[in-house]
Amino acid sequence: MEPGWVCRIFRDWAVCCAGLLAVGGQPAAAAPQVPTAGGARLDQLPQQWRDDRGDRLPLASLVGHRVILTMAYATCHKFCPATISNLGRLQQALDARGEQVDFVIVGYDPDSDGPATWHRYRAHRHLNRSNWHFLTGTPDATAQLARQLGFEFWKYDDHVMHDVRVVVFDAHGVLANAIGSGTRDWSAVL
Cβ atoms of 122 and 52 within 8 Å: the answer is: yes
CA distance 180 to 142: 19
Q: What is the pLDDT along the chain (190 residues), one digit of tens a residue?
A: 344 433 333 333 333 333 222 223 333 333 334 444 447 999 999 999 999 999 999 999 999 989 999 988 888 777 787 888 889 999 999 999 999 999 999 998 888 889 999 999 999 999 999 999 999 999 999 989 888 998 776 676 666 666 778 899 999 999 998 877 665 566 656 6
What is the pTM assigned to this prediction?
Answer: 0.76
Closest CA to 70 of 106, 118, 17, 121: 106
Q: Map residue 156 onto helix, strand or coil.
A: strand
> If you classify domain 34-189 with CATH, what class do you get?
alpha beta
Cβ atoms of 90 and 82 within 8 Å: the answer is: no
Closest CA to 14 of 183, 59, 22: 22
The domains of the chain are located at 1-30, 34-189
> In terms of DSSP H, where are the helices of the chain?
5-22, 79-97, 115-124, 139-149
